[in-house]
Structure 1
Amino acid sequence: MLRPQASETRDLVNLDGIWRFAVDRPEVSEPWSAPLQGSLDVAVPASYNDLFLDPKIRDHVGWVWYQRDVFVPRGWGDRDTVIRFEAATHHGKVYVNDVLVAEHIGGYTPFEADITDHVQPGKPFRLTVGVDNELSIHTIPPGHVHVVDSGQRRQSYHHDFFNYAGLARSVWLTGIPRTRIEDIAVTTGVEGAAGTIKYSVVTTGSAEVRVVLRDETGAEVLNGSGAEGTLRVEEVKLWQPGAAYLYKLEVSLHGDGELVDSYTQSVGVRTIEVTKTEFLINGKPFYFTGFGKHEDTPVRGKGHDNAYLVHDFELMKWIGANSFRTSHYPYAEEVLDYADRHGIVVIGETAAVGFNLGVSGGMSAKNPPPTFSPDTLGDEMQETHAQHLRELIGRDKNHPSVVMWCIANEPASQEDGAYEYFAPLAELTRKLDPSRPITYTAWLLANAKNDQIATLFDVIGINRYFGWYIDNGDLASAEVKLEADIRDWVEKFDKPVMMTEYGADTMAGLHSLNDIPWSEEYQIAYLEMNHRVFDKFPTFVGEQVWNFADFRTTPGVHRVDGNKKGIFTRDRRPKGSAFFLRGRWTATGNVKPSQQ
């Protein structure tokens, strides 16, 4: 499923803007069958929760409805009309006039519907979209709904970020040829000074496939024909961390001597390899520096915002970060396009967060149920998880910035049943994409002695908060524990280890002459302690701080207006730790600090 694109043969209409909006009401049985009643309007793309002042909308559990009128261009009579949603969090239903044309479960990957038979070129139609934010034990991420003393339905979940919902990404109407390019897959390699680009094109109907490879100036480098092939680029210019180079692969279909369809795919030539001790990009050791991030901004929630996108990357460039993880869900594809162009390395992650029923909002629960069992995360969840992997890899497989797949964040990997749950998913991921390594992130109480799934993965990611959740305020003891913990991982497993999360909540502007938790000085001292330990281990391959910026969570006694572990505030002002990290990371580039 190719992302919509305007070309010689394809037309594209953006449907972002102001839509009519309503919260689901029992007395309105079919809200798609007529114009939505009421005075509420909503912005698309945006999460709806923070747009309004009514807490009943912010905390609503269940369906909401979006609606607008759409005009189909008159010139689309000989084309298929397709509507595409970049995301609907978490369950979407799409109606054209009174007809259900699409349904999708999964809040962070795209879906589309061919609506040609339900619309007329030159005529408008009523588009209604239902979005349900409810989480259950069988959804990714999981959760459950309960009724509180006030009689209201409340959503509970085990991940530590706010359950923003709605149409958080763009909506498109496209007019595309009936015989067309359906998908393109690209893998790259390097042979001496030459680069190889292996391509595969899926089409509808019968047509001749032609390809042209162009460099960044637009000059033709190579051409070929056929739905599958390999292009060999002599003196190739590699896609490098911090120095991106993108070729353009122009794919076209021809029939009876005429152009039928065309699509352009960006290509970055690079190689990925993992040894027992190193993570290699283009054959050179790469040391991850950067962040776990969130799609989270004031007012918009998880709504994609191009202004924040540009500014966030500028901040990462300023601080010297070379990478980030898409914690804890696939990000908008615009983010990956931007990473491709700017040479930022990405670990792509599924929405499999909260797979740990012994944790609720970061705090240990008493007598929790087993995480992996027929009644909790069992066969149904495993199949849902597999579908998320198919959709994530299907969408992002061609991005050179994506160098590794993370198939889950902080699962209960120390529990019985974890291996049986994850082994088929690890196998599926490798089958879907043999070109990239895979990882997961181990939570604080899963260690090298009790973890059951590390053998399934190429790189071990660990999330550690010694000095915060454990030994808070006692960095000397925290340092002893952290060093022992990492040594256990390194000595037991012949594979690279990286820190995928480490951080301390910090109130911007709170200062202390002593290492007082929540102060800016403590956050810096905490980071210094961690770095001393990291630098002792040659097989340690990266450090990604939690988090890039403060973000919203559910209310909690351990959260003050959200999670404050950001190096930047939610509105992107630097804390003192930003200048400290800039000093470390700008001096190291892509090389481990202790190995310079």
Structure 2
Amino acid sequence: MPQRMEYPRPQFVRNDWLNLNGEWEFAFDDENTGEREAWFEDGKQVFDKRIQVPFCFQSELSGIGETGFHDIVWYRKAVTLPPEFADKSVLLHFGAVDYEASVWVNGRLVATHTGGHTPFSADVTSALRDGENAVVVRARDYSKDMTLPRGKQFWEEKSRGIFYTRTTGIWQTVWMEPVEALHIDKVKLTPDIDKDQVGVRVFVNGSFGQSKVQLKTIIRFADVLISEDVITLQQNEESRHIRLYDTNGDKTGRKWTPERPNLYDIEWVLLVDGVEADHVQSYFGMRKISVEDGVLCLNNRPYYMKLVLDQGYFPEGLLTAPSDDALRADVEYTKAMGFNGARKHQKVEDPRYLYWCDKLGLLVWGEMANAYIYSEQYVSRMTSEWVEAVERDYNHPCVVAWVPLNESWGVPNILVDKAQQDHALAMYYLTKSLDPTRPVISNDGWEHVKSDLCTIHDYESSREVLAHRYGSADTAVSSKPGKRWIYVPGYARDQEPILVTEFGGISFRKSEWEGWGYSAAESDGDFVSRLAAVVHPLLESPIVQGFCYTQLTDVEQEINGLLTYDRKPKVPLEWIKAINEGKLPDMKS
């Protein structure tokens, strides 16, 4: 079975690491007795199942494939550390565990975490012993809690409508790595194309003592040395701006775009009294996303975004892709159809997907997995996990917009409820405070309060209606697709660029899957005609600056994808590309 053996964190790479994916012992704890009976201690409990991590037990690739409700699950794995871990501090990393996690090493609690889509780590050095070590994880989900940030995971047993099979427990890679006691914890990279420089903000973990601690930053482009910068660190957090000239003193000017995804290689060497203590490799792109005088710009030039809605589900692994190649293939399919971006919908996606978008050139709108019902507990859960999501993905050049809320999910009464309006405003300003470099959409689709872009969801299928509706900004903003106000009363558009960020949804059955869509095509020709009828009016609109077509693939019972659930094109990719270019395809060739 596939085990997802690729390095899981491509923007912060160390050479020495140990992948813990593969077979783990596993058990359901439906009676919630595991903690009381100390299942985390050696010999206290026989785990009666085996599971393939990082696939959730509901998925086929886990080896279990049980879709009933089991909200508390346990994992155990015996780990023997390789020789290169000797005399080092050891970090244990989890890419994502849905929803609450407790972790023990050799019976000692080393970490807890809340949030189903974001990573966490622990220094487990003091809990380790010679020889074999036991890593035990207890994961708890709340499958029926509609205030939980859950995305498309359904709170009923069988999938229906726009909701799909749940994910409980570990669903991204688990790994260990050895570090020195003093090591680099994280680095934030902020490109500035206007000043031809990159901001480097480094965070170092550990005590300096009386040692001289230096950070060497090495930047290359296409193996050509651009900069080698060395600074002496005075504290655990330091910031630095590095100009990007080549070795002859010339500006490099190699910007990142979907058409030319130029990437700089960057590495950091932490020196303690002149001796290397840590070495981390990464990359970045010189890219700027902005709104200038009401125009959406990429690198200070107007840029029309042609996005596709991508929910990131896979038939064998659900939220977890079966392989790194499968993630890359989704990016390649998207580009081959003439899209230059994707809106990752109701999911904080695997960092490996974002790596391929960075490398191959695809814009990404980063979106939170939303709850469905508002409560004070929801606000706390949502806020803390969203902060972690923005921090995790800040360095990716492909990420060009943040979407904390979608279609009033979690805030269903935002039109009239001041508290819910204030929550949407808080998420907008919180996101801006964490990242002032990207636009933020407070509530994608409708019922906006404050947003940097005016985004509209509109599943109208008539070419004539769409042409009229998007003939002017006034008619677009005053329209009520789905019988929803575009702005909450008391708020209004102030020259923000208008994008139609969900539309289409044409169902076309080309596999054994039964399902539904927003409108139905009966043949290849009918599908092409329907697709052109919704895409071309937006391309021809004098006021629309981008769109997001629903959707990349079928997902379970939802069959309005351009690809089937198992990633087979419903019509030739070049036909869709032609439509995205404002043309009609030659269906005879």
TM-score category (smaller protein): 0.7 to 0.9
- Deviation string 1:258-305 (CA, Å, 9 cap, x unpaired) is 112121221111111113532111111111113111221122111132
Does residue 381 in structure 1 map to residue 384 in structure 2? no
The runs of 5 or more residues in structure 2 that have no matched partner are 1-7, 233-237, 245-250, 479-491, 513-517, 584-589
Note closer, same or farther for the CA distance 1:56–1:531 as it changes in structure 2 (3 Å cut).
closer
- Kindly indicate whether residue 430 of structure 2 is the aligned counterpart of residue 428 of structure 1: yes
Identify the range of structure 1 (216-225 vs 496-505) with the bigger mean alpha-carbon deviation. Answer: 216-225
| CA separation of 1:54 and 1:462: change in aligned 2, threshold 3 A | same
Range that drifts further, 423-432 or 484-493: 484-493
Equivalent residue, structure 1, for 2:181: 178
Residue type matched to 2:28 in 1? Answer: V
Cα shift at 1:172: 0.6
User: Is residue 2:274 matched to residue 1:257?
Assistant: yes
Distance in 2 separating the partners of 1:53 and 1:46? 5
Residue 127 (structure 1) aligns with = 135
Aligned mates of 2:507, 2:431 — CA distance in 1? 34
Q: Does 1:414 align with 2:408?
A: no
- Pair 1:165–1:478, CA change in 2 (3 A): farther
Partner SS state of residue 501, structure 1: strand
Say whether 1:465 aligns with 2:459: yes
Q: TM-score, normalized by length of structure 1? A: 0.81
Q: Which amino acid aligns with 2:216?
A: R
- Counterpart Cα distance in 2 of 1:407 and 1:80: 36
CA drift of 1:333 comes to 0.5
Report if aligned partners of 2:201, 2:239 keep a CA contact under 8 Å in 1. yes
AA at the equivalent of 1:64 = V
Distance 1:575 1:416, change over 3 A: same
Contact 1:275 1:495 in 2 (8 A): no
RMSD over aligned Cα atoms: 3.2
Contact 2:536 2:579 in 1 (8 A): no
Residue 328 of structure 1: aligned partner = 346
Paired residue for 1:68?
77
228, 232, 255: which is aligned to 2:239?
228
Matches within 5 A, 1:69-84: 69-84=78-93
Task: After TM superposition, give the deviation of residue 154 of structure 1 in Å.
Answer: 5.3
CA spacing shift, 1:570–1:388, aligned 2, 3 Å? same
**Equivalent residue number for residue 361 of structure 1:** none
Name the CA shift for 1:539/1:172 in 2 (closer, same or farther; >3 Å).
same
Instruction: Look up the match of 1:519.
Output: 522
Q: Distance in 2 between matches of 1:460 and 1:69?
A: 52
CA separation of 1:276 and 1:30: change in aligned 2, threshold 3 A:
farther
The Cα shift of 1:334 comes to 0.7
Alpha-carbon distance, 1:173 to partner: 0.7
Deviation (angstroms), 1:198: 1.2
Amino acid at match of 1:23: F
Structure 2 CA distance, aligned partners of 1:221 and 1:344?
A: 27
Q: Which stretch of the first structure deviates more once superposed, 20-29 or 168-177?
A: 20-29
Residue 477 (structure 1) shift:
7.9
Shift of 1:57: 2.5
- Equivalent residue, structure 2, for 1:32: 40
Matches of 2:136 and 2:297, distance apart in 1: 48
Asked if the contact 1:275–1:496 (Cα under 8 Å) also holds between the matched residues in 2, the reply is no
From 566, 570, 588, the equivalent of 1:571 is 566
Give the total of aligned pairs: 528
1:330 counterpart letter in structure 2: V
Match of 1:105 in 2: 114
Aligned-partner Cα distance in 2 for 1:322–1:183 = 30
SS, match of residue 409 in structure 1: coil
Point out where structure 1 has 5 or more consecutive residues left out of the alignment: 147-152, 358-376, 468-474, 553-561, 589-596
CA-to-partner distance for each residue in 1:479-509, whole Å, 9 max, x for gaps? 4785489754457621112122221222127
1:339 aligned residue (357, 379, 382): 357
1:5–1:12 Cα contact (<8 Å) kept: no
Q: Which string of whole-angstrom CA distances, capped at 9 and with x for unpartnered residues, describes residues 360-405 of structure 1?
A: xxxxxxxxxxxxxxxxx23332232221221011111111111111
* Deviation digits for residues 412-450 of structure 1 (CA, Å, limit 9, x no counterpart): 34342332111111111111011111114544xx4xxxx
Any conservation in 2 of the 1:134–1:145 contact (CA below 8 Å)? no
Residue 31 to residue 478, structure 1, CA distance change in 2 (3 Å): farther
Per-residue deviation at 1:60? 2.0
1:145-183 Cα offsets, whole Å, 9 max, x none, are: 99xxxxxx9599996233223322111111111101112
| % same residue | 21
Q: Greater shift after overlay, 485-494 or 257-266?
A: 485-494
What residue in structure 1 maps to residue 254 of structure 2?
237
Asked if 1:140 is matched to 2:142, the reply is no
Report the 3-state secondary structure (helix = DSSP H, G, I; strand = E; otherwise coil) of the residue aligned with 1:381.
helix
Matches within 5 A, 1:339-378: 339-352=357-370, 354-355=371-372, 377-378=374-375
Equivalent-residue separation in structure 2 for 1:184 and 1:68 (angstroms): 31
Moved more, 67-76 or 36-45: 36-45
Identify if the C-alpha distance between structure 1 residues 167 and 522 changes in structure 2 by more than 3 Å, giving closer, same or farther. farther
Residue of structure 2 equivalent to 1:188:
191
